[in-house]
């Protein structure tokens, strides 16, 4: 297959609002280096990581909830998930799915022509478990909001599935994040897991992945999304922030506590989800969409023998495990909408409005 010299892409030109994301029809098509594959992108999922990197929300200078807009003050030394500045121009998009159409020197030839999903975690492959030597596809290198992208061959998984590229593009970031949280909190069939932000990308992953482990799931979500969230497998669905969470749990489950909280929301309601953890309970967190600064009563933490775990960089096996779950139909996609890549601003505006359940995807 012949690969054109230039391609269409959405290029991020700096920190700020949506206007920093520019549609280009003349961007140089990347060439695969040694050990890399060139992927013709079939679809790429949206993520808050892209929104937060664009806006600069990861900077410690920002303490507000994620809004998707530009912030007045962003410390240019720490505005990404990894704490290091990124370089512009940058093509974002961590959740690329497509077909391998070219190989760099020394890359395994059996990958040619295969449909693959990208594992976003860029690793030092001589030391793959070292979390300090990691980066993210679409952040520390160019990603999938383009017609073509390149990545190390060890970062792709061949997926044998009936699902469309757009459906597959809902999985990688959210589901590896969700599985990382559940692994760190050692969730088993003995657990009742409270999932915040349950209608979102990571939340809809957490529901399915916790059910896959046999756990009971209580989901918090806006009432208009309750039917969707129930269809994903949640046993109990409560509103986003019940006034008395313990009482709501008691009337829905017979108990006013849970053994695990899997949280991506944080913000002003955070104390309420900590308060319903049983003695010895575990709290896992991968996000703070409602605000990163929370108040903790240390007495609750130590007197109740709680464990709090942060989770971002996941072990390499988690992506490979996820590919198996998809191929065996143990998780299913929650594809809310598909937009042409050229209509990226409309896609990210809808993503930020959060009227959807699951994830939104763009196709070049």
Residues that bind ligand NAP (CB under 6 A): 47-49, 52, 65-66, 173-174, 177, 197, 199-203, 221-222, 225, 240, 264-265, 267, 286-290, 312, 354
E runs forming strands in 146-251: 148-152, 156-158, 192-195, 216-220, 236-238
Q: Least distance (Å) from ligand NAP to the CB of residue 193?
A: 15
Distances (CA, A) of 253 to 212, 221, 245: 20, 17, 12
C-beta of 66 vs 155, nearer to ligand NAP: 66
Contact 331, 325 (CB under 8 A): yes
- C-alpha–C-alpha distance, residues 55 and 189, integer Å: 39
C-beta of 103 vs 210, nearer to ligand NAP: 210
- C-alpha–C-alpha distance, residues 171 and 152, integer Å: 19
Q: Least distance (Å) from ligand NAP to the CB of residue 138?
A: 12
Show the tokens assigned to 55. Answer: 């806006």
φ/ψ of 359, rounded to 5, equals -140, 160
| Number of residues written out for the chain | 364
C-beta of 107 vs 139, nearer to ligand NAP: 139
Q: Least distance (Å) from ligand NAP to the CB of residue 5?
A: 34
Q: Least distance (Å) from ligand NAP to the CB of residue 55?
A: 11
C-beta of 177 vs 257, nearer to ligand NAP: 177
C-beta of 7 vs 290, nearer to ligand NAP: 290
Show the tokens assigned to 228. Answer: 């969707």
C-beta of 100 vs 151, nearer to ligand NAP: 151
Sign of CA dihedral 334, 340, 341, 346: negative
The candidate with the shortest Cα–Cα distance to 334, out of 210, 198, 201, 216, is 201
Can you tell me whether residue 341 is helix, strand or coil? helix
The residue behind tokens 């897991």 is: 193
C-beta of 49 vs 257, nearer to ligand NAP: 49
Q: Least distance (Å) from ligand NAP to the CB of residue 51?
A: 8
Q: Least distance (Å) from ligand NAP to the CB of residue 225?
A: 5
Q: What one-character DSSP code corresponds to residue 66?
A: P
C-beta of 312 vs 338, nearer to ligand NAP: 312
- C-alpha–C-alpha distance, residues 265 and 289, integer Å: 5
- C-alpha–C-alpha distance, residues 81 and 271, integer Å: 24
Q: Least distance (Å) from ligand NAP to the CB of residue 177?
A: 4
Q: Least distance (Å) from ligand NAP to the CB of residue 129?
A: 16
């Amino acid at each position: 297959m012949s690969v054109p010299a230039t391609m269409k892409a959405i290029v991020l030109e700096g920190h700020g609002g949506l206007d920093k994301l520019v549609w280009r029809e003349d961007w140089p098509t990347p060439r695969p280096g040694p050990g890399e594959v060139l992927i013709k992108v079939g679809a790429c999922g949206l993520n808050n990581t892209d929104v937060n990197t664009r806006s600069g929300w990861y900077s410690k200078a920002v303490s507000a909830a994620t809004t998707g807009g530009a912030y007045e003050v962003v410390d240019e030394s720490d505005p990404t998930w990894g704490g290091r500045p990124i370089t512009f121009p940058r093509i974002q998009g961590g959740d690329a799915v497509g077909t391998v159409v070219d190989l760099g020197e020394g890359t395994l030839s059996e990958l040619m022509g295969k449909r693959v999903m990208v594992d976003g975690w860029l690793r030092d492959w001589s030391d793959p478990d070292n979390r300090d030597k990691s980066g993210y596809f679409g952040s520390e290198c160019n990603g999938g909001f383009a017609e073509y992208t390149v990545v190390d061959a060890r970062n792709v998984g061949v997926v044998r599935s009936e699902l469309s590229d757009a459906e597959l593009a809902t999985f990688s970031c959210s589901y590896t994040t969700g599985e990382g949280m559940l692994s760190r909190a050692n969730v088993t069939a003995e657990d009742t897991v409270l999932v915040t932000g349950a209608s979102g990308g990571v939340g809809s992953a957490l529901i399915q992945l916790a059910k896959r482990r046999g756990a009971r799931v209580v989901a918090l979500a806006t009432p208009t999304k309750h039917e969707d969230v129930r269809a994903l497998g949640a046993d109990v669905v409560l509103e986003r922030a019940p006034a008395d969470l313990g009482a709501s749990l008691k009337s829905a489950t017979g108990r006013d506590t849970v053994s695990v909280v899997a949280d991506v929301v944080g913000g002003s309601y955070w104390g309420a989800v900590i308060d319903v953890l049983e003695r010895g309970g575990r709290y896992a967190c991968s996000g703070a969409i409602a605000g990163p600064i929370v108040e903790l009563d240390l007495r609750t933490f130590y007197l109740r023998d709680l464990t709090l775990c942060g989770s971002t960089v996941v072990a390499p096996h988690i992506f490979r495990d996820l590919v198996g779950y998809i191929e065996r139909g143990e998780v299913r996609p929650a594809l809310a909408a598909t937009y042409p890549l050229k209509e990226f601003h409309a896609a990210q505006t809808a993503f930020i409005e959060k009227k959807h359940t699951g994830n939104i995807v763009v196709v070049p």
